[in-house]
Amino acid sequence: MIDGTVKNITDYGAFVELEPGIEGLIHVSEMSWTKKNVHPGKIVATSQEVAVQVLEVDSAKRRISLGLKQTLSNPWQLFAEKFPIGSDVEGEVKNKTEFGLFVGLEGDVDGMVHLSDIDANRPGEIAIEDYKKGDVVRARVLDVDTEKERISLGIKQLGTDAIVPGAAAGDEGGPSEFRRNAVITCEVIDVKADGIEVRIANSDMTAFIRRNELARDRNDQRPDRFAVGEKVDARITQFDKRTRKITVSIKALEIHDEKEAIAQFGSADSGASLGDILGAALKARDKKSD
């Protein structure tokens, strides 16, 4: 490690004077562990004293390559030491992609929750809609690859609501039954071309169930098969206690019930048809209700 003074900043890096008349270049890729796409001027300033590491000396071309990030601890290594696999962490959703959620973590590193690790009961493509940028979520550390600078996280492994604000049932005055994944009864109050509006039973809250959330089977995703005054069961997919906005889905409930029925009463591979399995599940539920 050697000290130097930043003499010039360009788009591709910063020139540092090591001794009078001897300069080296810190390429932008060697300036920060975590700031990958920022101008060098946002990391260092002209005349700033910096500690650098000599990475390469090319005598023939009279070039010295320097590294700034090498003088600092690897943040992924620090994260792995503080949060070993199995630890629970909190972070803000930085981005949503077709692969999953990127969550900002302590140490200015990001972790990824793959679609398959968001929810144990629903497809990731559906479950990811519960989250938006800025949400603070809980997750479990599944893997840390310090060389590839990757952190894998899981939300379904928690087995609870991962969204931190109002995550505990009943917080901020919200009814305890209005938690994500809870099953509720609704009354249809309006039927529209793109879905149905419902009122949540025993409350003054309303929600709109979009056409594609009316049923798992596409043929049943017709709003006109519902009538005003009809009672329907649905599954809460999101509940914001601060704004008192609730999102419900009949499709999510059907998917969950089917998975539960298969797990409890057998699978199609064992010779039972899906109709047999669901029929057994319905009889068991009816007997329990009686």
23, part of any domain: yes
pTM above 0.85, yes or no: no
pLDDT in tens, 27-80: 988 888 877 778 998 889 998 999 998 999 888 888 899 988 888 888 888 999
Residues 238 and 179 in one domain: yes
Question: What CA–CA distance (Å, rounded) separates 103 from 258?
Answer: 31
CATH number at residue 13: 2.40.50.140
Domain boundary among 125, 158, 191: 158
16, part of any domain: yes
193, part of any domain: yes
Which structure tokens are listed for 116? Answer: 């398959």
Q: How many domains does the chain have?
A: 3
135, part of any domain: yes
pLDDT in tens, 227-270: 999 999 998 888 776 566 788 999 988 888 777 666 655 544 44
pLDDT for 276 equals 52
The whole domain housing 42 covers: 2-71
Residues ≥6 apart with Cβ < 8 Å to 168: none
Residues 51 and 113 in one domain: no
Residues 216 and 238 in one domain: yes
Domain boundary among 93, 126, 158: 158
Tokens 């068991």 found at: 284
Residues 60 and 79 in one domain: no
Residues ≥6 apart with Cβ < 8 Å to 212: 221, 251
Residues 32 and 45 in one domain: yes
Contact 178, 234 (CB under 8 A): no
Question: What CA–CA distance (Å, rounded) separates 134 from 101?
Answer: 11
pLDDT in tens, 108-140: 899 999 999 998 878 888 888 888 888 888 999
Question: What CA–CA distance (Å, rounded) separates 207 from 247?
Answer: 6
Domain boundary among 22, 43, 71: 71
Contact 272, 202 (CB under 8 A): no
pLDDT for 259 equals 72
C-alpha distance across the termini of the chain, in Å: 77
pLDDT in tens, 186-228: 999 999 999 999 998 877 788 999 999 999 888 899 999 999 9
> Torsion over CA of 161, 167, 169 and 170, rounded to 10 degrees?
-160
Residues 81 and 23 in one domain: no
Question: What CA–CA distance (Å, rounded) separates 184 from 239?
Answer: 12
- What's the residue count for the chain? 290
264, part of any domain: no
Mean of pLDDT values over 78-89? 90
